[in-house]
Structure formats: C-alpha cells, structure tokens
C-alpha cells in the first residue's frame, strides 16, 4: 500500500465521497488515507514522544495499530459501513501496540459502536461516532490525563457537534475537525507540563491529527507520500527536567489479551480494575471489543496483574 495508489482517485470517486453518505468502501478509502499519512509522518510523531515515557515509539505503535485495523477491514470487505467499522475496531484492538495504540483502538471501538446496523454514514452519524469515540477512549484509561490524545478527540467531538448544528455536511465537518485537532495539539503543552518542558506537543494527539488530516487530504486530492514536518531527534529535546516528572512504576510494559469465560460485565470489570489500581498502581489502559479484551500496563511488578486477568478469562 502506498499514498500514491489512493491519491490518484478520479474526480468522480472524490465527488462521490464528498457528496454522498459514506458506505463501507468509502470508509475503507478514508482509513487507508489516514494510515498512509500517519505512516508518512511516523518518525515525526516518534520524535515528539516524551509522555508517559520518552521512548520514541508512539508513531510506530499507532501505525502498527492502524495497519492491523486496515488489514482486518481488507479481510471483510463490505458496502455496509457498520460491518466495516466493526472490522476496523476488531483489528485495531487485536493489533494495538503501546498505550497510544490501545487508546486509539478504543477510539475506533466507540466509532464502530455508533455505526452498528447502519448501511451508510451521513454527517449526523459521523458526529455521533466521534462522540462515542471520545466517551469510549476516556473510559478505557484509568487516569485520564489532559494534554494528550484524549483532549484532542474530545475537542474534535465538540467541534463536530457544533458544526452539525450549523448544518454542515460531512466533508465540511471533516475540514473543521482537522483544523480543531491542529489547534488542540498545539495547546497540549499548556495542559501537560512535561510537554512544555521538553518543547514538544503531544505525540498521540499529533498522530490522531495526521489520521484525520490524511482523510481530508484524500478528499482534497493532495499528496499523502511526502512529510512536511521537520523531525528532531529525542536527543535534541530538553528532557533533563522532564524525566523527573515521569510517574513511578514504569519498569515493565505488560499487555494481556484475554477472552472472558462468561459474558463480561463491563461495569464490574471497571470496578475491579479500579481496585487493582488503588492497590498496586497498575493498569494504564484497557480495551475491549465484542468478547475479546486487552489490558495494557506499565508497572514495576508485572506478575501482580496476571491472577486478576486469569480470573476473568480462559486461554485464547
């Protein structure tokens, strides 16, 4: 897959995407564009990664998550936008990498939930899907932190709702949420001190911006294969003071995928998760779609989380 292959859409195809409700094939094109533009800017996103740990892999993790989601979509091609969105969410969860990937998978999970049983996506459904994306993402993080990808998806959802009230069509809403995402990302250092200390914006939020901007660039007929941002290595950032603000207990990264042995009560799951956090300061993000769940943690005692997950699951 390359940016070139999808930026050569004919005028008729672009007109269809711009003027008509989006069906499953249209959603696939938009997702491919978002993935392509994110991959083009992958190293730039990596260069911004200082939170929660400055390990320079947010762009890579988001690309791998989006690629897994896109691969799943390609395996279940359908004109039904709800079915394609479900494949998107399933692939994103199973392929989620890192904290940013798990949160991104939950953004797509909320998006897909809003699409259930719909053949096509109009402006109103697009806005509802963004609202569900925001809600699901926040619920999937134990301690939501503003100035991150969560803030950006929230600002996107709010702007989308405002534009819908003004009667904007889907393509116009996309223009406005890309502008809003850009401004939201630029403001992240004002909300998260570690970003201001390092002189960067939030990497996960920037990655999400690139995904939506890629969709817009496709509709506008712009190239998706040439990055336009300057990349600075992590060594060039002011991390001396920023490192002191990293939360303790980041020694290990643990990801557990599991299939519950019975119907999963999400509210009970969240309650148990909160108890685990209070007791051991575990679990950064949690995702679920259908009957499969993922627990993503950065901890200093990795074995503590296993018995809790095992109680809920069977071997998968």
Q: What is the CATH number of the domain that holds 209?
A: 1.25.40.340
Distances (CA, A) of 122 to 111, 153, 157, 163: 13, 19, 15, 13
Q: Is residue 133 part of a domain?
A: yes
From 198, 218, 308, select the one nearest 256 (Cα to Cα).
308
Q: Kindly state whether residues 139 and 211 are assigned to the same domain.
A: yes
What's the pLDDT tens digit per position in 19-70? 779 999 999 999 999 999 999 999 999 999 876 566 678 999 999 999 999 9
Q: Which of 70-79, 182-191, 253-262 has the highest mean pLDDT?
A: 182-191
Q: Kindly state whether residues 154 and 201 are assigned to the same domain.
A: yes
Q: Is residue 155 part of a domain?
A: yes
The answer to whether 57 and 65 have CB atoms below 8 angstroms apart is: no
Mean per-residue pLDDT, 277-298: 46
Q: What domain range is 260 assigned to?
A: 252-314
More confident residue, 184 or 141: 184
Helices (H), the chain: 3-7, 11-19, 24-40, 42-47, 58-75, 81-94, 98-115, 123-139, 149-165, 170-191, 193-198, 203-220, 266-280, 305-312
Q: Which helix (H) or strand (E) holds 303?
A: none
State the helix-helix crossing angle for 11-19 and 203-220, rounded to 10 degrees.
120
pLDDT of residue 69: 97
pLDDT of residue 116: 92
pLDDT of residue 315: 40
Domain tally for the chain?
2
- Give the model's confidence band at 128: pLDDT under 50 very low, under 70 low, under 90 confident, else very high: very high
Q: Is residue 171 part of a domain?
A: yes
Q: Kindly state whether residues 210 and 274 are assigned to the same domain.
A: no
Q: Kindly state whether residues 165 and 297 are assigned to the same domain.
A: no
Q: Is residue 234 part of a domain?
A: no
- Give the model's confidence band at 257: pLDDT under 50 very low, under 70 low, under 90 confident, else very high: low
What mean pLDDT, rounded, does the chain reach? 80
Hey, how many other C-beta atoms are within 10 angstroms of the C-beta on 98?
Answer: 26
Total residues belonging to the chain: 316
Task: Please state, for a pLDDT cut of 90, what percent of the chain lies above it.
Answer: 55
Q: Kindly state whether residues 126 and 273 are assigned to the same domain.
A: no
What's the pLDDT tens digit per position in 72-119? 999 988 999 999 999 999 999 889 988 899 899 999 999 999 999 999
Mean per-residue pLDDT, 284-301: 47
pLDDT of residue 284: 46
Q: Kindly state whether residues 66 and 190 are assigned to the same domain.
A: yes
- Give the model's confidence band at 147: pLDDT under 50 very low, under 70 low, under 90 confident, else very high: very high
Q: Is residue 1 part of a domain?
A: no
State the helix-helix crossing angle for 24-40 and 58-75, rounded to 10 degrees.
160
At residue 316, does pLDDT exceed 50?
Answer: no
pLDDT of residue 77: 82
Q: Is residue 240 part of a domain?
A: no
Q: Kindly state whether residues 58 and 161 are assigned to the same domain.
A: yes
Q: Is residue 304 part of a domain?
A: yes
Q: Is residue 4 part of a domain?
A: no
């Amino acid at each position: 897959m390359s940016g070139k292959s999808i930026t050569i859409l004919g005028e008729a195809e672009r007109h269809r995407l711009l003027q008509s409700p989006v069906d499953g094939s249209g959603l696939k094109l938009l997702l491919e564009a978002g993935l392509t533009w994110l991959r083009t800017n992958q190293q730039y996103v990596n260069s911004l990664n200082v939170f929660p740990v400055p390990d320079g892999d947010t762009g890579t993790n988001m690309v791998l998550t989006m690629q897994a989601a896109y691969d799943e979509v390609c395996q279940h091609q359908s004109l039904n936008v709800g079915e394609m969105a479900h494949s998107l969410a399933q692939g994103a969860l199973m392929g989620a990498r890192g904290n940013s990937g798990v949160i991104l998978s939950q953004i797509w999970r909320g998006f897909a939930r809003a699409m259930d049983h719909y053949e096509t996506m109009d402006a109103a459904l697009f806005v509802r899907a963004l609202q569900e994306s925001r809600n699901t993402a926040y619920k999937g993080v134990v301690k939501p932190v503003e100035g991150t990808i969560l803030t950006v998806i929230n600002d996107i959802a709010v702007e989308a709702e405002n534009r819908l009230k003004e009667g904007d069509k889907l393509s116009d809403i996309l223009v406005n949420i890309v502008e809003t995402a850009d401004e939201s990302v630029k403001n992240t250092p004002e909300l998260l001190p570690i970003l201001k200390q390092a002189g960067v914006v939030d990497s996960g939020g920037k990655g999400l911006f690139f995904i939506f901007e890629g969709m817009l660039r496709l509709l506008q007929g712009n190239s998706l294969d040439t990055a336009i941002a300057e990349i600075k290595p992590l060594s060039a950032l002011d991390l001396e003071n920023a490192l002191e603000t990293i939360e303790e207990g980041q020694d290990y990264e643990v990801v557990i995928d599991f299939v519950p042995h019975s119907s999963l009560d999400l509210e009970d799951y969240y309650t148990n998760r909160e108890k685990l956090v209070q007791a051991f300061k575990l679990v950064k993000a949690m995702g679920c779609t259908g009957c499969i769940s993922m627990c993503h943690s950065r901890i200093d005692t990795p074995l503590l989380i296993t018995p809790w997950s095992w109680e809920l699951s069977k071997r998968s």
